[in-house]
Structure 1
């Protein structure tokens, strides 16, 4: 009987030790989980940031100054300026942004302005940019590209745009002597300035 009592006592001690060990492991898991959740929550905290880079801000204010009778929109999704007759036409292009969109007072797109930073190569264009430019061209929207390291002045911008007498609508001036093109799209004399 004493042997059975001792064996029962050992089993009880083993169960208690196993229970304590399990509780310690669960406590450690809870602490680690809580710390992980706190770290994730910190990462999810929203912070305010500027929607335009320094170059974009300079260009925006120059465009506004040069084209006071027009709307200048910055960082516009391509899907806000282009549509298709069927729903599958723009697919991944709709998520792409246009640096600047110049519109007349009726909100008709006059031209799209893209600023090429040092990540853009002057001689080659990414396939996504190529698709974006072709889609804009097919919709009859002029694209103007300027280098970020040699942004045009207000006078240069006004020179690039001119007023048509009958409708007083802005249009892009295409100067053949300085004109280069990508897929037949007017790029303008400012494209090749600077090395950026």
Structure 2
């Protein structure tokens, strides 16, 4: 009889063990929700000035020197030029060449749509070879689109009169169609 009791207890133990195993594996697993960065309630941004102090001073000089023009600052290159039909199937390539570049200032015509001139205020950061290569690409893109560019140096902050004379000369030499 003791063998039967032991055998019965072993069978009951085995059944209990199998029942526990089945319960563990048959319960639906709790899916851990993975938060995407988009789903956080507040994104990690803060405001920042649109221009440096030097750029603000130069902007005020531009406004005083050229009151008859509309002047916009910090304009993305891709907002004023785009690949033309020569780009054919490479439009994305040519767009990507300019999409992360901006201009310090642009002069716009009375229609508020025609860009007359791009103006860059260069400081010491434009002395590096890498920055000079970026500036050359920017100049080439603008020239290809028929928009002249003029560069002033922040270390040699020009007078109102010099700004006006230089800008009007470029506008006279490169009239917009």
TM-score between the two structures when normalised by the length of structure 1: 0.59
Alignment gaps of 5+ in structure 2: 1-7, 173-177
Q: Which has the higher helix share?
A: 2
How far apart, CA to CA, are the structure 1 residues paired with 2:36 and 2:130?
45
Asked if structure 2 preserves the Cα contact closer than 8 Å seen for 1:78 and 1:93, the reply is no
Aligned to 2:5: none
Asked if structure 1 preserves the Cα contact closer than 8 Å seen for 2:98 and 2:138, the reply is no
Aligned to 2:75: 76
Alignment gaps of 5+ in structure 1: 162-169, 175-196
Max Rg structure: 2
Moved more, 152-161 or 70-79: 152-161
TM-score between the two structures when normalised by the length of structure 2: 0.63
Distance 1:73 1:119, change over 3 A: same
Distance 1:115 1:46, change over 3 A: same
Asked if structure 2 preserves the Cα contact closer than 8 Å seen for 1:110 and 1:171, the reply is no
| Residue 127 of structure 1, CA deviation | 3.6
Distance 1:46 1:87, change over 3 A: farther
Aligned to 1:59: 58
Deviations 1:68-114, CA, capped at 9 Å, x for gaps: 11111112232443355416274334413221111332444332111
Paired residue total: 158
Asked if structure 2 preserves the Cα contact closer than 8 Å seen for 1:77 and 1:97, the reply is yes
How far apart, CA to CA, are the structure 2 residues paired with 1:43 and 1:124?
36
| Residue 129 of structure 1, CA deviation | 2.6
Aligned to 2:110: 105
Aligned to 1:166: none
Q: Which of the residues 138, 156, 160 maps onto 2:162?
A: 156
Structure with larger RCO (C-alpha < 8 A, sep 6+) = 2
Asked if structure 2 preserves the Cα contact closer than 8 Å seen for 1:79 and 1:93, the reply is no
Q: CA RMSD in A?
A: 3.8
| Residue 140 of structure 1, CA deviation | 4.3
What are the within-5 Å matches in structure 2 for residues 1-196 of structure 1?
A: 1-14=8-21, 18=24, 26=30, 29=32, 33=34, 37=36, 41=40, 44-83=43-82, 85-86=84-85, 88=87, 90-95=94-99, 96-107=101-112, 108-121=114-127, 126-161=132-167, 170-172=168-170
Asked if structure 1 preserves the Cα contact closer than 8 Å seen for 2:74 and 2:105, the reply is yes
Partner SS for 1:134: helix
